[in-house]
Amino acid sequence: MEELLEPVHEVFAGSVHTCVLTRSGQVYSFGKHEYTGHGSLGEDVLLPKLLDSFGDKQIKQISVGPGGYHTIALTSDHEVFTWGHNRVGQLGYSNSEVVPRNGEGAHFLPTPKVVPHFEHKTSTDLFSLSLFLNRSKCVDFQ
C-alpha cells in the first residue's frame, strides 16, 4: 500500500468513502471498496490508496456527492471523471452495459471513467464542478 507522503490540498468525505486531493493533483481514496474507485476489490480500503485510473493527468478539482456514494473529478485539461453509485444517472451515464450492477443490484462504476459529454470542452465551456442534491453536476455554459 502506498503511503500518502505528499502535501494534502483538500479532503472530501462522504458517508462510505473519503478522497484526498494532493497539491500535485493526485487522488488517494479509502473506505467501502465499491465507492473508492479502486475497482471491485472485495475488501474495504482502510488506508489512503493512490487512485491510478487517471494516468498522468493532474486532477484539479474533486467532490464527493452529498450522500457519499459517488465522486466527480475534473482534470487540469478539462476532462470530467466519475465513479461510484449511479442510481439516477448522476455519473453522466445511463444505466446500461457501461454502468453495470453490483452484487446488490445497484448500478455503479467501480473505477473512474471519462464522461463522454464533457470530452471536448474547453475551460470556458466547463466553468464549475459541483454536487447538488445528491446528483453530480458539471455546469456547462455553452
CATH number at 134 reads 2.130.10.30
Does the model's pTM come out above 0.85?
no
If one counts the domains in the chain, the total is 1
2 within a domain of the structure (yes/no): no
Alpha carbons 125 and 107: distance in angstroms, whole number: 29
**Residue among 21, 79, 81 at smallest CA distance from 50:** 21
> Residue 22: pLDDT band by 50, 70, 90 thresholds?
very high
Distance of CA 101 to the CA centre of its chain: 17
Q: 63 lies in which domain range?
A: 8-140
94-137 pLDDT tens trace = 777 667 777 777 778 889 998 877 666 555 444 444 444 344 44
Alpha carbons 68 and 43: distance in angstroms, whole number: 18
Looking at residue 101, what DSSP letter applies?
B
